[in-house]
Structure 1
Amino acid sequence: MAGRNGRTVRDLRRGNRTAVLQRLYFDGPLSRFELGPATGLSSGSVSNVVAELISDGLVEEAGSVDSDGGRPRILLRVAPGSGHMIGVDVGETRVRIGLFDLTLTELARAEHPLEQQRYEVDGIVGHVRDGIAEVLSGAGIGPERLLGVGIGVPGIVERVPQLGSVVHGQTIGWDAVPLERLLREGSELPESVPYFIDNGARTLGQAEMWFGAGRGAGNAVVVLFGSGVGACLVSPDVDHGRAVEWGHLTVRVRGRRCRCGALGCLEAYAGAESLLARWFEAGGTAPEGADEETALAVMLAGAYPADGGEADPVALAVLEETAEYVGAGLSDLINLFQPERILIGGWAGLQLGTRFLPAVRRYAAAYALRHPAQKVAVELGRLGPDAVTVGAAILPLADFFAHGGRRPDPVPARRTAPAQRVPR
């Protein structure tokens, strides 16, 4: 029976379960007494919901604390082993796969380096399938125990009836690739295990907003700085988070050709691939056969020698120019969205690190409008190189919470779970 607002009793119960699970997840262990004001539910509703969640194996006791003159209060927490998720990062240099319990403790991982033709579709599909099998076998977890598989990919992800998630990755040569369908074909996972495929910058943003430097922010932009660049916007107006193709803003008319084919994109100047290309063009060198991560490390060592020796002026000049382009690109985000925080992550962003950050801040402030620039903090992300994998694993977890801790019936062409902000 539906009320005047269209919500049924089932909807209310699901919402109550979600509220209790999320509070225990982010703030637990908590007692039943503490859950009341934390969730806004009555003591009777809290007792009923907790009893259901304990019966379902989702919540367990976690000791007790003394109360004021009464009996000790039993503490409750989310049971770690009551669910498992897989997170996959389809990155520029490797496919990284992690298996996590319900509290996002990593139980197993696999890494598959990408060689030549690194974004060949069949190869990526094979790496993801093999990695899923490896982590399940390594942890001794049956596939039927999975809440889902989250996958972060480069490009725009679209949900198409009968096909599921389709990836448009212009910079990597993917034109409407039906990735979800390809992963389903020949997969050993049951049909009941959903795939949640989304842009890698959005999964990075998901992780930083839940557990990293974005926690507690009302609005933020999380930047992924790898071979290319991307960003995820989270704000009150875009509550579920949205990937934005920040790397393809035009920063120089008739400038360098970007790997997307256009001229003058930010990614043609700010991504690690273009940064290194400009360094090589100016005379920089890296060991033969070095991948991007190794080459960038060599460049940084030359620009900032650990022994206090003379810095490589070519490497310094390219890095300063890159900092200006990144700062100018961030100024666009500041002017458009006026975020509280901008967080820089991704393997290249983390390698460039604190030495690069002061120049980026300086240029962002110089190019942005003064008022929003004074209010934004530009920081590094806190979750390290695994943030995209963790964020991908959060996608099925967020969906599980949205359903009140109940596994929904599988449906064709499943929608990706919303990238919820941390509840406050």
Structure 2
Amino acid sequence: MTRPNGRTVRDLRRENRTAVLRRLYFDGPMSRFSLGPATGLSSGSISNVVAELVAEGLVEEAGSVDSAGGRPRILLRVAPASGRMIGVDVGETRIRIELFDLTLTELARTERPLVPAAEGAERYEVGIVVDHIREGIAEVLRTADVPAEALLGVGVGVPGIVEHPEDGGAGGALVHGQTVGWDAVPLERLLREAVELPAEVPYRIDNGAKTLGQAEMWFGAGRGASSAVVVLFGSGVGACVTTDPPAPGRALEWGHLKVQVRGRRCRCGALGCLEAYAGAEALLERWREAGGEPPAGAGEEAAFAAMTAAAYPSDSGEPDPAAVAVLAETAEYLGAGFADLINLFQPERILVGGWAGLLLGTRFLAEVERHARAYALAYPAARVTLGLGTLGPDAVTVGAAILPLADFFARGGRREDPAPAEEPPAWTEAVRDRTAH
């Protein structure tokens, strides 16, 4: 049956289930009585939806509370064991794979370092990345003793622009990662071919900064904000802008904003990108050029920690002038980049995450904020707050796991079904007949 507005009874039932699940997920445990005003649904609709969800094992009882003069009210919550998700972070120095239950409690994790397999080999060689993900998924499922059939999906955060073909083509999501040498890599197809998972388990692939933004808006420092920009600061820099907190944000290639004409060469090949001055990889290069000496043989994260400690010594030692100068210049470049975000999007909050951003901490962020407010227009600058993300350096895997979870909620808590074959519009046959002559 189709309603006058085009929505079917099935659509309405799905929307009601979605409303109840989301409210219980974010604000539960709640009673049936409280769910009515919280969702805007009638008591009859609440009773029907809750009965369905309890019967399916998606919702369970979680104690009771006293009511005003009546029987105690039963509290309900989303059942943690009713689904599992995997989040994958294809990071700059490692691939991290985590298995979560429905309430995002970590059940198992593993990491695979991203290092060249041989002299001259690419760190991001696609076959190596796919192998790491395949092995990691198998490991976390085995460690937690979880059958693959229990998965609601696998979310993957990647560097670069992710293209989702409108027709859902056979290859699925394509990754355009210019800084890592990926040109239209059919990552979804490659994972489906390599990873032993049931065909009905969906993959959700998206930009890593976008998954970080989703995590901070749902569970971290972005909760309660009407709009925010979440910045991912690691080897490179990226950002995600969110104007509707429950919905996915929009990934921004902010690191490739031009901050100096004919400036330093960026990993993307262009000149003068913000990332060429503010990414951790670029900072270390500039520190070496200024006379800094990272520990011999240290990886990128260890070397960056050494530079930070040299600029901000915890004891009474003298700061390293080269590290101080590099970070001071970087704070101004980032401040100018933040000012552009403020002027363009006028967000309520700007949040900094990623391993490098969190390592530099509040002291460095205060300098960035000072420059941002000086460079930005006064009105939006006065209405934005800047802060650090609260979910730690592993937040991308949490955000990646949210991708299939958000889809699951949008379907009313139902598993993904193959799309039914649809008849083509009548005009297609007429056009085909004309072109045949």
TM-score normalised by length of structure 2 = 0.93
For residue 209 of structure 2, the aligned residue among 192, 201, 206 is: 201
Give the paired residue count: 412
Assess if the C-alpha contact under 8 Å between 1:29 and 1:77 holds in 2: yes
Per-residue displacement from partner, 1:129-171 (whole Å, max 9, x unpaired)?
Answer: 1000000000000101100000000000002322101000000
Assess if the C-alpha contact under 8 Å between 1:231 and 1:244 holds in 2: yes
Residue in 2 that maps onto 1:130: 135
Assess if the C-alpha contact under 8 Å between 2:130 and 2:194 holds in 1: no
When residues 195 and 237 of structure 1 are mapped into structure 2, their CA distance, relative to the original with a 3 A threshold, is: closer
Distance 1:364 1:71 in 2: 56
Assess if the C-alpha contact under 8 Å between 1:204 and 1:388 holds in 2: yes
Q: How does 1:27-38 map to 2 (within 5 A)?
A: 27-38=27-38
Residue in 2 that maps onto 1:409: 417
Q: How does 1:377-396 map to 2 (within 5 A)?
A: 377-396=385-404
Per-residue displacement from partner, 1:245-298 (whole Å, max 9, x unpaired)?
Answer: 000010000000001010000000010000110000011011222111100111
Question: Which of the two has higher C-alpha Rg?
Answer: 2
Residue in 2 that maps onto 1:398: 406
Q: CA deviation at 1:306?
A: 1.0
Q: CA deviation at 1:325?
A: 0.6
Distance 1:238 1:245 in 2: 22
Distance 1:314 1:97 in 2: 37
Residue in 2 that maps onto 1:177: 185
Q: CA deviation at 1:329?
A: 0.4
Query: What is the percentage of aligned positions where both structures have the same residue?
Result: 75
Kindly provide the amino acid, as one letter, of the partner of residue 144 in structure 1: E
Distance 1:83 1:390 in 2: 15
Gaps spanning 5+ residues in structure 1: where? 413-424
Q: How does 1:216-255 map to 2 (within 5 A)?
A: 216-236=224-244, 239-255=247-263
Per-residue displacement from partner, 1:184-238 (whole Å, max 9, x unpaired)?
Answer: 1132101100000000000000000000000111110000000000000101499
1:5 counterpart SS class: coil
TM-score normalised by length of structure 1 = 0.96
Residue in 2 that maps onto 1:319: 327
Kindly provide the amino acid, as one letter, of the partner of residue 128 in structure 1: I
Gaps spanning 5+ residues in structure 2: where? 117-121, 421-437
Residue in 2 that maps onto 1:422: none
Assess if the C-alpha contact under 8 Å between 1:194 and 1:410 holds in 2: no
Higher alpha-carbon deviation: 182-191 or 98-107: 182-191
1:375 counterpart SS class: coil
Distance 2:331 2:381 in 1: 17
Q: Does 2:157 match 1:152?
A: yes
4+ residue stretches of structure 1 with deviation over 2 A? 236-240
Cα RMSD of the aligned pairs, angstroms, is: 1.2
For residue 380 of structure 2, the aligned residue among 372, 380, 383 is: 372
Distance 1:410 1:289 in 2: 50
Kindly provide the amino acid, as one letter, of the partner of residue 138 in structure 1: T
Distance 2:157 2:124 in 1: 14
Residue in 2 that maps onto 1:212: 220
Q: Does 2:146 match 1:141?
A: yes
Distance 1:334 1:382 in 2: 21
Distance 2:41 2:159 in 1: 41
Q: Does 2:353 match 1:348?
A: no
